[in-house]
Amino acid sequence: SASRFLAKPSAMQSPRSGCESKPKFVRSHGVGPPIAQLGRQLTSRVPTTYIPRVKRPATSDLVDRLINQGSISPANRPFMDVFSLPRRQIVENILALARKIVFPGIFDEYRVNNANLKYHIGMLTSELKQVIEDQVTRATLYSWKDTSPKATEECARRAQKISAEFLESLPLLRSILADDVDASLRGDPAAKSAEEIILCYPGVEAIFIHRVAHELHRLGVPLLPRMMSSYGQYRTAIDIHPGAKIGKAIFMDHGSGLVIGETTEIGKNVKLFHGVTLGALSYQDGQAMAGVKRHPTIEDDVTIYAGAVILGGDTVIGAGATVGGSLCVTNSVPPGHMAYQPPLEVFSKPMKPKNTTARKEES
């Protein structure tokens, strides 16, 4: 290809004689001094920010102050081996594996069919058993505040037993969750299919996470169930304590802002709308009420509308009862009854007639 020639601007004027001289040419392949000079000119015009010099403390001094400050000081760290704590990412992985087992083919990265289903479930259960054993061992060691070899060995044995029992509960868990999905399908006229409900409804995701966490809570696993319920609240805005006992075929419509406390007992075929609180009355010393029934009991076939607040361990909502929206209930509701606010009185007044005369005159 023909070479391009670019002239140096400085060569157009002779510095000695002040008269024009023959231009000097420089061979170039598309890039020449004018482009480079233009780049330097643009760079020189970019404003710079003045950053004053700050006297920085020595790194060792900063670290010492951070270590000895407040809640992380040695006095407030009775258990130093934080490596034994369960890992949040792995806890989320436990839920992801369990969800693939309970709802095969819906959350998987590849196609699952009858030909590979047995292999697929077998691989998932094997991986789930390993991660549960590891995380349960970590949680138990943290609970015992002991990292001796003897304690580690005992925790590992318990974790193996717990993981085996948890895997044995998966068939029943799948059956109960199928009833939950069916309740959502029957209860919501906007629902089109079970797959839509499993993929899109936050209430189904929340109850799935709760049922997994509740089973581990029932097996006596510390910390891990609470981490799962915290993750479920982050995902769905539904806060369910893993200790709550919830019957099958529950339908949480919309679900946002729904709160279910630790000692709550819920029967089957219950429908809860968003913003419902099944909570406890406030006490001066909360720890004194630990282990005491302090949340309400909801019997079978109950409907509780949005924004209702039901408080107290002695409060029972009887079978087939209905609680209206935005109510605060601290007394029991008999079976088959309805608790609701009296209808609001609506006052009407005649509207002022529109002034159309002036507009007609203008037109």
- Return the beta strands (E) in 275-345 as ranges: 277-279, 297-298, 303-304, 309-311, 316-317, 322-323, 328-329, 338-339
Contact 162, 132 (CB under 8 A): yes
Q: Does the pLDDT of residue 3 top 60, yes or no?
A: no
Do 296 and 216 lie in one domain? The reply is no
Residue pLDDT, tens place only, 130-188:
999 999 999 998 888 887 889 889 999 999 999 999 999 999 999 999 999 999 999 99
Mean pLDDT of 210-236: 97
In this predicted structure, what is the pLDDT of residue 98?
97
User: What integer pLDDT is reported at residue 116 of this predicted model?
Assistant: 94
Specify the 3-state DSSP secondary structure of 321: coil
Q: Considering the domain boundaries, does residue 136 fall inside one?
A: yes
Domain residues for 279?
257-342
Assess whether pLDDT exceeds 90 at residue 278: yes
Whole-number Å distance between alpha carbons of 319 and 160? 40
Whether 102 is covered by a domain: the verdict is yes
SS3 239: strand
147-150: Cβ within 8 A, 24+ apart: 147/81, 147/84
Confidence class for position 327, pLDDT limits 50, 70, 90? very high
168 & 314 share domain: no
Angstrom distance (rounded) from CA 124 to CA 322: 42
Would you say residue 310 lies in a domain? yes
The predicted-structure confidence for 17-58, as pLDDT tens digits, reads as follows 444 455 454 444 444 555 555 555 555 555 555 556 656 656
Q: Are residues 171 and 209 in the same domain?
A: yes
| Whole-angstrom distance, CA of residue 308 vs CA of residue 326 | 4
One domain, residues 227 and 292: no
CATH code where residue 290 lies: 2.160.10.10
Shared domain check, 270 and 193: no
| 187 within a domain of the structure (yes/no) | yes
Residue type, 119: Y
**CATH number of the CATH domain containing 140:** 1.10.3130.10
Q: How far apart are CA 134 and CA 156, in angstroms?
A: 8
C-beta of residue 158 within 8 angstroms of C-beta of residue 140 = yes
Q: Report which residue type is found at 43.
A: T
Task: Kindly state whether residues 153 and 262 are assigned to the same domain.
Answer: no
Residue ending a domain, choose from 186, 209, 238: 238
Assess whether 194 and 310 both reside in one domain: no
Q: Is 90 exceeded by the pLDDT of residue 107?
A: yes
Note whether 91 and 192 are same-domain residues. yes
Q: Is residue 221 part of a domain?
A: yes
Q: Is residue 192 located within the same domain as residue 233?
A: yes
**Is 146 within the bounds of a domain?**
yes
Q: What total of structural domains would you count in the chain?
A: 2
Q: Are residues 192 and 284 in the same domain?
A: no
Assess whether 300 and 192 both reside in one domain.
no
Same domain, 87 and 164: yes
Could you read off the pLDDT of 229-270 as tens digits, one per residue? 999 999 999 999 999 999 999 999 999 999 999 999 999 999
In sequence order, what are the residues at sequence separation of 6 or more whose Cβ sits closer than 8 angstroms to the Cβ of residue 256?
202, 236, 237, 238, 274, 275
